[in-house]
Protein backbone atom coordinates (compact mmCIF):
# COMPACT_ATOMS: atom_id res chain seq x y z
CA UNK A 1 0.00 0.00 0.00
CA UNK A 2 1.32 3.44 -0.89
CA UNK A 3 0.88 6.28 1.57
CA UNK A 4 -1.28 9.10 0.20
CA UNK A 5 0.08 12.68 0.22
CA UNK A 6 -1.10 14.85 3.13
CA UNK A 7 -4.48 16.49 2.61
CA UNK A 8 -5.59 19.68 4.31
CA UNK A 9 -9.27 20.53 4.61
CA UNK A 10 -10.72 23.86 5.68
CA UNK A 11 -13.92 23.47 7.70
CA UNK A 12 -16.38 25.96 9.17
CA UNK A 13 -18.06 25.88 12.59
CA UNK A 14 -21.14 23.94 11.54
CA UNK A 15 -21.85 20.38 12.71
CA UNK A 16 -22.77 19.42 9.13
CA UNK A 17 -19.00 19.48 8.50
CA UNK A 18 -18.72 16.18 10.39
CA UNK A 19 -20.05 14.23 7.40
CA UNK A 20 -17.90 16.18 4.93
CA UNK A 21 -14.76 15.52 6.99
CA UNK A 22 -15.65 11.83 7.44
CA UNK A 23 -16.23 11.39 3.69
CA UNK A 24 -13.03 13.27 2.83
CA UNK A 25 -11.05 11.09 5.24
CA UNK A 26 -12.52 7.90 3.81
CA UNK A 27 -11.61 8.97 0.26
CA UNK A 28 -8.11 10.07 1.31
CA UNK A 29 -7.49 6.80 3.16
CA UNK A 30 -8.91 4.56 0.42
CA UNK A 31 -5.48 3.47 -0.90
CA UNK A 32 -4.48 2.38 2.62
CA UNK A 33 -7.34 -0.15 2.74
CA UNK A 34 -7.82 0.49 6.46
CA UNK A 35 -9.41 -2.25 8.53
CA UNK A 36 -12.87 -1.33 9.88
CA UNK A 37 -11.59 -0.80 13.45
CA UNK A 38 -8.90 1.68 12.35
CA UNK A 39 -11.26 3.55 10.04
CA UNK A 40 -13.87 3.86 12.79
CA UNK A 41 -11.31 4.91 15.42
CA UNK A 42 -9.92 7.67 13.20
CA UNK A 43 -13.33 8.91 12.08
CA UNK A 44 -14.45 8.98 15.68
CA UNK A 45 -11.39 11.01 16.70
CA UNK A 46 -12.11 13.36 13.82
CA UNK A 47 -15.76 13.83 14.78
CA UNK A 48 -15.09 14.30 18.50
CA UNK A 49 -12.34 16.88 17.95
CA UNK A 50 -14.28 18.81 15.28
CA UNK A 51 -17.32 18.85 17.57
CA UNK A 52 -15.14 20.12 20.42
CA UNK A 53 -13.74 22.98 18.36
CA UNK A 54 -17.26 23.99 17.30
CA UNK A 55 -18.85 23.62 20.75
CA UNK A 56 -16.04 24.88 22.97
CA UNK A 57 -13.68 26.93 20.81
CA UNK A 58 -16.31 28.73 18.79
CA UNK A 59 -19.09 28.70 21.36
CA UNK A 60 -21.51 31.62 20.84
CA UNK A 61 -20.36 32.11 17.25
CA UNK A 62 -23.07 31.78 14.57
CA UNK A 63 -22.65 28.58 12.50
CA UNK A 64 -20.53 28.95 9.40
CA UNK A 65 -18.72 32.13 10.51
CA UNK A 66 -15.40 30.66 11.71
CA UNK A 67 -13.01 28.36 9.91
CA UNK A 68 -10.38 25.90 11.04
CA UNK A 69 -8.28 23.23 9.37
CA UNK A 70 -7.70 19.52 9.65
CA UNK A 71 -4.83 17.72 7.96
CA UNK A 72 -4.67 14.00 7.26
CA UNK A 73 -1.19 12.53 6.84
CA UNK A 74 0.67 9.24 6.99
CA UNK A 75 4.06 10.21 8.53
CA UNK A 76 5.30 6.60 8.51
CA UNK A 77 4.02 3.27 7.21
CA UNK A 78 1.11 2.07 9.32
CA UNK A 79 0.75 5.39 11.10
CA UNK A 80 -1.99 7.98 10.50
CA UNK A 81 -1.89 11.51 11.85
CA UNK A 82 -4.73 14.02 12.20
CA UNK A 83 -3.73 17.63 12.87
CA UNK A 84 -6.44 20.14 13.83
CA UNK A 85 -5.62 23.84 13.91
CA UNK A 86 -8.00 26.59 15.03
CA UNK A 87 -7.70 30.19 16.17
CA UNK A 88 -10.24 30.05 19.00
CA UNK A 89 -9.25 31.04 22.57
CA UNK A 90 -6.73 28.64 24.14
CA UNK A 91 -8.46 25.36 25.00
CA UNK A 92 -6.88 21.98 25.72
CA UNK A 93 -9.55 19.30 25.21
CA UNK A 94 -7.17 16.60 26.48
CA UNK A 95 -7.12 18.24 29.92
CA UNK A 96 -10.73 17.22 30.60
CA UNK A 97 -11.34 15.13 33.70
CA UNK A 98 -11.26 11.36 33.29
CA UNK A 99 -14.61 9.62 32.90
CA UNK A 100 -15.42 6.93 35.47
CA UNK A 101 -16.43 4.14 33.10
CA UNK A 102 -17.20 1.77 35.97
CA UNK A 103 -19.96 3.93 37.49
CA UNK A 104 -23.44 2.35 37.50
CA UNK A 105 -26.15 3.44 35.06
CA UNK A 106 -27.81 5.90 37.44
CA UNK A 107 -24.55 7.72 38.09
CA UNK A 108 -23.29 7.91 34.55
CA UNK A 109 -23.40 11.48 33.31
CA UNK A 110 -24.81 11.95 29.83
CA UNK A 111 -21.67 13.22 28.14
CA UNK A 112 -17.93 13.64 28.55
CA UNK A 113 -17.21 10.45 26.64
CA UNK A 114 -15.85 11.96 23.45
CA UNK A 115 -12.41 12.99 24.70
CA UNK A 116 -12.15 9.80 26.74
CA UNK A 117 -12.62 7.72 23.57
CA UNK A 118 -10.15 9.82 21.59
CA UNK A 119 -7.47 9.24 24.24
CA UNK A 120 -8.17 5.50 24.31
CA UNK A 121 -8.32 5.01 20.54
CA UNK A 122 -5.31 7.13 19.57
CA UNK A 123 -1.74 5.97 20.13
CA UNK A 124 -0.62 9.54 20.70
CA UNK A 125 -2.51 12.76 21.45
CA UNK A 126 -0.94 16.15 22.09
CA UNK A 127 -2.20 19.71 22.46
CA UNK A 128 -0.15 22.81 21.85
CA UNK A 129 -0.93 26.53 21.91
CA UNK A 130 1.26 28.17 19.28
CA UNK A 131 0.75 31.91 18.87
CA UNK A 132 -2.93 32.47 18.12
CA UNK A 133 -3.55 28.79 17.34
CA UNK A 134 -4.73 25.68 19.14
CA UNK A 135 -2.99 22.70 17.55
CA UNK A 136 -4.17 19.21 18.33
CA UNK A 137 -2.12 16.30 16.97
CA UNK A 138 -3.54 12.78 17.07
CA UNK A 139 -1.83 9.66 15.82
CA UNK A 140 -2.91 6.10 15.51
CA UNK A 141 -0.64 3.16 14.76
CA UNK A 142 -2.84 0.96 12.61
CA UNK A 143 -3.94 -2.35 14.02
CA UNK A 144 -3.21 -1.46 17.63
CA UNK A 145 -5.72 -2.53 20.23
CA UNK A 146 -7.16 0.31 22.30
CA UNK A 147 -5.31 1.36 25.44
CA UNK A 148 -7.16 0.17 28.51
Instruction: Supply the minimum distance, in Å, between the C-beta of residue 54 and other proteins.
Output: 9
Is there a contact between 127 and 134 (Cβ–Cβ < 8 Å)? Answer: yes
**For the chain, how many helices (H) and strands (E)?**
3, 5
Contact residues for other proteins, defined by CB under 8 A: 15-16, 18-19, 22, 36-37, 40-41, 43-44, 47-48, 51, 99-106, 108, 110-111, 113-114, 116-117, 120-121, 146, 148
Contacts of 73 (CB under 8 A, 6+ apart): 6, 7, 80, 81, 83
Bridge partners (DSSP) of residue 7 are: 72
Nearest distance from C-beta of residue 131 to other proteins, angstroms: 29
CB of 102 to other proteins, least distance (A): 6
Q: Which is nearer to other proteins, 1 or 113 (CB)?
A: 113
Amino acid sequence: MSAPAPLQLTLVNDLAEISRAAAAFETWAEALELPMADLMALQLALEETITNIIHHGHRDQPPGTRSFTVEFSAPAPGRIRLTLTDDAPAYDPLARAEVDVSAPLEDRPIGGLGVHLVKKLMTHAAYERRGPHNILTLERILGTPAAS
